[in-house]
Copies of this chain bind each other. A is one copy, B any other.
């Protein structure tokens, strides 16, 4: 295996993303020593049981000492606090990054605390599942997914190249853009989809005319798809919505405007226009499949038939 990208990697937070980075970095040899911190004693203990790293630290600052790369894998709302806590222990020249789903807010929170001697390059691997915690991680999570870097104007090109190489080694495709544009793009491709999924599950739960048992029994009609992303970590998502407020509200306003138009077409029975709207969406799914971001297996490749019984 070739030389590690980082002799010492520090992971602050060891949930789904942190544990997947640890496993992928180990598998690919992208990191030498992997130092892990969690502020929750139980989680840190579990990470050790799972053998996710090489050292385990109850103190965040201890974790980053001598690290060549420090990656915050925490809900975006605490990025500033964590940056403040680790700043005094950062090695000059080290790379500081994160995995947050929001970038402008993370930059605003972290930058004031970081010494000029480190290279701060925010990152967002666009990958995940509905499960959380150190047991949820797997080494293949980032393969063929995109990792977006939002390097500030003064980011050192060497540091940028090293972090890019690290993520590529973990299997990801790497793209760079500015933090504000990232937040707009992710608002429509991730944040608003999660919001409307949480919302419809809530709407269904509150109905007086349809029981929750009926909602569950007949969910294969489409509803169950939404419950997957609505099962994602509540703290993480609260922080995403509050820290990307402006872009989320802007995209949500577009969505609601469009749904009002659709509602009106149904009310007045404009079938031709409905067909037109429903026809163009297939091309977008086809494009996603061709871009390698989705399977073309029917129903996501969900088990049908006997396999369903097996999993009962």
Q: Is the CB of A188 within 8 A of B223?
A: yes
Q: Is the CB of B198 within 8 A of A192?
A: no
Once A188-B215, A219-B288, A280-B202 are accepted as A-B contacts, the answer to whether A226 and B295 lie under 8 Å apart by CB is no
- Closest chain-B Cβ to A260's Cβ sits at a distance in Å of 8
**Nearest chain B residue, comparing its CB with the CB of A190:** B221
**Nearest chain B residue, comparing its CB with the CB of A210:** B185
Q: Is the CB of A305 within 8 A of B205?
A: no
Judge whether A259 is part of the interface by a CB distance below 8 angstroms: yes
Q: Is the CB of A301 within 8 A of B304?
A: no
CB-defined interface of A128-155 with B at 8 Å, one 1/0 digit per residue? 1111000010111101111010000000
How many of these chains are in the complex?
Answer: 2
Compute how far the CA of A284 lies from the CA of B197 in the bound complex, rounded to whole angstroms: 12
Compute how far the CA of A66 lies from the CA of B232 in the bound complex, rounded to whole angstroms: 54
Judge whether A165 is part of the interface by a CB distance below 8 angstroms: no
**Nearest chain B residue, comparing its CB with the CB of A215:** B189
Q: Is the CB of A203 within 8 A of B188?
A: yes
Q: Is the CB of B304 within 8 A of A227?
A: no
Judge whether A112 is part of the interface by a CB distance below 8 angstroms: no
Residues from chain B with a CB closer than 8 A to the CB of A312 are: 292
Across the interface, A285 reaches (CB within 8 A) one of B191, B231, B252, namely B231
- For this complex, into which size category does the number of interface residues on chain A fall? 35 or more
Residues from chain B with a CB closer than 8 A to the CB of A242 are: 266, 269, 271, 274
- Closest chain-B Cβ to A276's Cβ sits at a distance in Å of 8
CB-defined interface of A217-261 with B at 8 Å, one 1/0 digit per residue? 111111111111111101101100110010011011011101110
Judge whether A3 is part of the interface by a CB distance below 8 angstroms: no
Residues from chain B with a CB closer than 8 A to the CB of A143 are: 304-306, 308-309
Judge whether A294 is part of the interface by a CB distance below 8 angstroms: yes
Across the interface, A256 reaches (CB within 8 A) one of B139, B144, B259, B269, namely B259
Across the interface, A198 reaches (CB within 8 A) one of B205, B225, B281, B297, namely B281
Judge whether A262 is part of the interface by a CB distance below 8 angstroms: yes
Across the interface, A224 reaches (CB within 8 A) one of B128, B130, B293, namely B293
Judge whether A126 is part of the interface by a CB distance below 8 angstroms: yes
Residues from chain B with a CB closer than 8 A to the CB of A297 are: 303, 311
- Closest chain-B Cβ to A288's Cβ sits at a distance in Å of 5
Q: List, sorted by A's number, 26 A–B pairs whose CB atoms are closer than 8 Å.
A: A130-B298, A130-B299, A140-B306, A143-B306, A145-B220, A146-B217, A146-B220, A185-B215, A191-B221, A195-B259, A196-B200, A196-B259, A197-B225, A198-B262, A199-B255, A203-B254, A219-B293, A220-B293, A227-B294, A234-B279, A237-B278, A242-B274, A249-B267, A256-B256, A296-B311, A299-B300
Residues of A within 8 A of B (CB): 101, 126-131, 136, 138-141, 143-146, 148, 171, 175, 184-186, 188-207, 209-210, 212, 214-232, 234-235, 237-238, 241-242, 245, 248-249, 251-252, 254-256, 258-260, 262-263, 266-267, 269, 271, 274-275, 277-282, 284-285, 287-288, 291-309, 311-312
